[in-house]
Structure 1
């Protein structure tokens, strides 16, 4: 037989006559009961035990003190009842423990989106350099600003309650980001992904029971290869730079262009990552921080010169005294202007340079490129190592050169060209030469 579940809710107060203080008073205790679960808490209200009415859960008499205390107890009862209704409305369920925590302000979590987002970002910031990257923190930093702009534009408010979030909110936000802010599909998706991660925090803390954005389908745009054109890379490498900070950022970008290393991997490189084969050639071996896959990259002259250039400036066992990601981002922006480049420069572009300009355009097999870049799937490498127009043009030139001696058009053959075909004229000439029976 199935058990019948009863939804009951009650609030009552009592005193413990066995715990009388030296001043003759005792503390009024509260008791909350929800569906058979019961919790107790202190109201912090002191009363004369001789005035307590155990049947009414209140003080006796009409004295001013009794009236004031009874009013306090009634206000507390009303507040708990209100919390009970709020939990049912917002979460669909309530427990006695949740009500107690709300009354006592224990473990209270924010129920506002941007407030929770800020708490998340503050905690994330403290972990940067430990097990989080600065560029990941900046992703959340930019995301909250975009979301705040949307809330202000759409609702005319500074924040929004978590319980008011729904699928429409996310859909409208994405339209705002793509339209008003002019973000690309992938950048807008990044903001939405950051939002969904904060929503997960709201679920974990019990503010939300489920993801309000379930069912949303992200627009998928195939990632593009973002390598520089060869002329821009040459200009970046050869432009005179007087600032030591800009020169260092430029050198790190060039180092990664010729090794395929990411920013987070360059930060951790030491002499232990440099090996020498039996021919005396040096190479890098390391595990990618992002995937944990093993990378093997032969060191060409340019990255070797960069390593030697900064050897005397080392402050630790690491190859380079790497700047923060935000400083690198800022310096590369300055380098773009200094070199007069139209396209912006990002550090990650250096990996695309390696996958295309340094390897694929020099006929390095894509399987070899995948090994050096630490990719588990060739499909990932194909994104980095897309065919460029120059590569297609060079390959076609080789085909044209080799095909000239193998193939010829009909018009180029050593024979007369018949401009107009006349059957009867052709028949008469044929019969005159070979006879009618041939």
Structure 2
């Protein structure tokens, strides 16, 4: 529902001592301000309770009528736009109301592009095709973009066809060195690149919807710094698997961690698995079948003996295949497990996924194409990163070569 509130603009006073009256317009998560072009003494505004009491001065009666007319015209323009699209941009409303060239005829604004894409993405989340965490990142990327434009250009929005290369690289610089979130200044390179790719993805969506002709972020070429994935060696994996913990919470965390080590599922996917995800093929082999929440890509994994032991251990004790535990608690307890097992590595739930890709599969000769499929990767390049860190495979191949020269 559209909401309009009139207020006095603080700090601005005319020669007559009058302050300008502004309108704050809100709709869903959007909010903009507009000048009404009218002024009034601050004392009279307060005395008449924002012109809501019975007015005696003719000037104030006329002023109140003008604000009512302003409100009526705003609502009329809003209803006109609502007939064209349910996804209304207040920036577009403001431009239409002020008689400026319609954004729809000149182009679409970058904030409107983000709003339309995110509204579409939210539908996918509600249909359980994508994760809520990914949606929150897109919403965060929109907030960062708006903050950048306000701080760097003193504007709230910009037409997509007016975005220059300077704008894009100034945005990248702002994200890296000046953005502020929860008291922390600046964002690390890999996260910045991911945000920039989100803007590119949103613009690609607008191209598909026929809203814009070209992607202003198409030439952005920021690179993610690839770091060696942390994973467990077979000896370290055995050490955790053979360790018996007196604390039940650590035993549950161990089993949950090992489940991901032998299936490769990310935390959000592992937590959502139930008995409905288990299938038996024509050869009586058991599979876990599901779609990755992050990408909606199919990720089917055969059930290995260690996985089956964990599933049977917790069968009928909860809805899911494994105990429910928050990512935060999981990682905190894994640090404790690492200390007790004498493992000098920073263990997180994602280390289990990396261990599946390296030690459990690639390290045992599983073809990289099959590993990529089981992990739900969108392309094999993602999987090749894990293959690069397996020195044991390099040594095995070189050993065979050495034998030829002996």
Compute the TM-score of the two structures, normalised by the length of structure 2: 0.56
* Equivalence for 2:4: none
* Pairwise CA distance, 1:113: 4.5
| 1:327-367 deviation per Cα after TM superposition (whole angstroms, max 9, x unaligned) | 22x12431353235776555444333212111121233334
Alignment partners' CA distance in 2, 1:112 and 1:370: 35
1:189 aligned to which of 193, 196, 211: 193
* Pairwise CA distance, 1:307: 0.5
| 1:121-154 deviation per Cα after TM superposition (whole angstroms, max 9, x unaligned) | 8993994574431331342355356556656764
* Equivalence for 2:80: none
Alignment partners' CA distance in 2, 1:276 and 1:384: 29
1:357 aligned to which of 356, 359, 368: 359
How do 1:364-403 and structure 2 match up within 5 A? 364-370=366-372, 372-373=374-375, 378-400=380-402, 402-403=403-404
* Pairwise CA distance, 1:306: 1.2
* Equivalence for 1:304: 308
Tell me: CA distance 1:152–1:334, structure 2 relative to 1, closer, same or farther (3 Å).
farther
* Equivalence for 2:12: none
Compute the TM-score of the two structures, normalised by the length of structure 1: 0.53
* Pairwise CA distance, 1:311: 0.8
Tell me: CA distance 1:119–1:356, structure 2 relative to 1, closer, same or farther (3 Å).
closer
2:169 aligned to which of 168, 171, 175: 171
CA contact (8 A) 1:307 1:319 kept: yes
* Pairwise CA distance, 1:258: 0.8
Secondary structure at 1:385 match in 2 = helix
1:226 aligned to which of 225, 229, 232: 229
CA contact (8 A) 2:200 2:218 kept: no
1:87 aligned to which of 59, 84, 100: 100
* Equivalence for 1:161: 157
CA contact (8 A) 1:203 1:209 kept: yes
Q: Gaps spanning 5+ residues in structure 2: where?
A: 1-57, 78-93, 179-184
* Pairwise CA distance, 1:228: 1.0
Alignment partners' CA distance in 1, 2:120 and 2:253: 28
Tell me: CA distance 1:123–1:87, structure 2 relative to 1, closer, same or farther (3 Å).
farther
Alignment partners' CA distance in 2, 1:132 and 1:291: 6
Alignment partners' CA distance in 2, 1:153 and 1:362: 53
CA contact (8 A) 1:236 1:335 kept: no
Q: Gaps spanning 5+ residues in structure 1: where?
A: 1-63, 95-108, 408-438
Secondary structure at 1:302 match in 2 = helix
Of the structure 1 ranges 116-125 and 344-353, higher mean CA displacement relative to structure 2 is found in: 116-125
Paired residues in the alignment total: 311
RMSD: 5.2
Tell me: CA distance 1:389–1:162, structure 2 relative to 1, closer, same or farther (3 Å).
same
CA contact (8 A) 1:227 1:350 kept: no
Structure 1 residue 259 corresponds to structure 2 residue 263: yes
2:133 aligned to which of 107, 132, 135: 135
CA contact (8 A) 2:125 2:132 kept: no
* Equivalence for 1:419: none
* Pairwise CA distance, 1:74: 12
